[in-house]
């Protein structure tokens, strides 16, 4: 009789585990999957629009004079935004809500998020141009570096994980996986769940390339900032322990304890299950 290979874990399992192991247990045992709500769809659309924007914004910046003001940079970067957003909506048309008001709300929120990111990008370009004296088009790679590849799905049966690398960059001759995050960043560093995800992607890429990596990046789009995750041996062990614990939870071999009511419980969809009287 052949032994059945356990299913590959997904990156969101690591994120949920870092936030609350008991939530992972409830998702499995209440037969709930991670929410596929309008917010999830919004960020899917924004991620698609970003890729289209990167292609167009480079050429738009080349039309600017040597020392453009901030408004000119903003205008150039925003010019292709509507078209990029339209294409992103078309790409996800089968997932779009039928309700017209909800669809309009989705467009407005996606448009606002893209505009916010673009204005931050324009301010960074202006500052870099003033500091270096270089044309903004040559500095674009600083705020939007050219990726070797994007949305690269990678899996490893030995580690037991499948994930998608949002972008792979090459820095000082080394390949660096980048995990893009749309949520609120911590004051410094990265969230623990983001650290686990970024480190896991680095470990998956290591296996694929057969070379040791020392760095991964987490990009927080709300502040247009990439933060490093140093891939140490201790962090690798932490990832392996997390994967082992997740497998035990999903196999019902271990029931993690509940947290006492705290900040992470406030917006949890399971708060009435864990703490009905809180």
Q: Are residues 103 and 152 in the same domain?
A: no
Residue 194 lies in a domain: yes
Q: Are residues 86 and 200 in the same domain?
A: no
Asked if 81 and 111 touch (Cβ cutoff 8 Å), the reply is yes
CA angle in degrees (0–180, nearest 5) for 51-48-204? 80
Residue 175 CB contacts under 8 Å (≥ 6 apart), including other chains: 148, 168, 169, 205, 209, 211, 213
Q: Are residues 136 and 200 in the same domain?
A: no
| Whether the model pTM is above 0.95 | no
Per-residue pLDDT band at 1 (split at 50, 70, 90): very low
Q: Are residues 268 and 163 in the same domain?
A: yes
Whether residue 155 is predicted with pLDDT greater than 80 in this model: the reply is yes
Q: Of 110, 143, 176, which residue sits at a domain end?
A: 143
Domain membership of residue 70 as a residue range? 38-143
Q: Of 143, 162, 190, which residue sits at a domain end?
A: 143
Q: Are residues 91 and 226 in the same domain?
A: no
Assigned token pair, 48: 């698609």
Residue 137 lies in a domain: yes
Q: What is the pLDDT of residues 17-45, one digit of tens each?
A: 999 999 998 888 775 444 446 777 888 89
Asked if 90 and 26 touch (Cβ cutoff 8 Å), the reply is no
Number of domains in the chain: 2
* Percent of the residues in the chain that have a pLDDT greater than 70, as a whole number: 92
Q: Are residues 127 and 263 in the same domain?
A: no
Whether residue 92 is predicted with pLDDT greater than 80 in this model: the reply is yes
Helix or strand or coil: residue 170? strand
Q: Are residues 117 and 159 in the same domain?
A: no
Q: Are residues 261 and 161 in the same domain?
A: yes
Taking all residues of the chain, what is their mean pLDDT, rounded to a whole number? 87
Q: Of 119, 143, 167, which residue sits at a domain end?
A: 143
Residue 2 lies in a domain: no
Residue 163 lies in a domain: yes
Residue 203 lies in a domain: yes
Residue 3 lies in a domain: no
Q: Are residues 94 and 217 in the same domain?
A: no
Q: Are residues 153 and 264 in the same domain?
A: yes
Mean pLDDT throughout 146-168?
85
Please report, for the domain that includes residue 180, its CATH number.
3.90.320.10
**Cα dist. 260→23, 29, 96, 182 in Å?**
13, 20, 38, 28
Q: Are residues 136 and 192 in the same domain?
A: no
Whether residue 244 is predicted with pLDDT greater than 60 in this model: the reply is yes
Q: Are residues 183 and 235 in the same domain?
A: yes
Residue 278 lies in a domain: no
Distance CA 169, CA 141 (A): 11
Residue 4 lies in a domain: no
């Amino acid at each position: 009789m052949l032994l059945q290979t356990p299913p590959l874990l997904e990156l969101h399992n690591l994120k949920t585990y870092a936030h609350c192991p008991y939530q992972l247990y409830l998702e499995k045992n209440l037969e709930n999957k991670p929410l596929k709500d309008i917010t999830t769809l919004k960020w899917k659309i924004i991620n698609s629009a970003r890729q289209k924007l990167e292609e167009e914004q480079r050429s738009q910046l080349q039309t600017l004079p040597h020392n453009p003001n901030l408004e000119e940079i903003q205008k150039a970067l925003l010019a292709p935004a509507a078209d990029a957003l339209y294409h992103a909506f078309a790409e996800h048309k089968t997932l779009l809500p039928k309700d017209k008001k909800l669809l309009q709300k989705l467009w407005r929120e996606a448009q606002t998020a893209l505009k916010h990111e673009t204005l931050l990008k324009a301010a960074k370009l202006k500052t870099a141009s003033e500091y270096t004296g270089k044309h903004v088009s040559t500095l674009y790679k600083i705020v939007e570096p050219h990726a070797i590849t994007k949305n690269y799905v990678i899996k490893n049966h030995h580690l037991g994980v499948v994930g998608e690398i949002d972008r792979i960059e090459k820095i000082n001759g080394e390949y660096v996986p980048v995990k893009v995050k749309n949520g609120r960043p911590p004051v410094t560093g990265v969230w623990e769940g983001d650290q686990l995800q970024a480190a896991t992607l680095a470990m998956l890429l290591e296996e694929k390339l057969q070379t040791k990596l020392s760095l991964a990046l987490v990009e927080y789009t709300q502040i247009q900032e990439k933060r490093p995750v140093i891939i140490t041996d201790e962090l690798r062990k932490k990832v392996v322990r997390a994967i082992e614990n997740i497998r035990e939870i999903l196999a019902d071999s271990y029931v993690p304890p509940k947290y006492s009511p705290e900040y992470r419980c406030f917006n949890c969809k399971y708060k009435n299950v864990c703490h009905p009287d809180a």
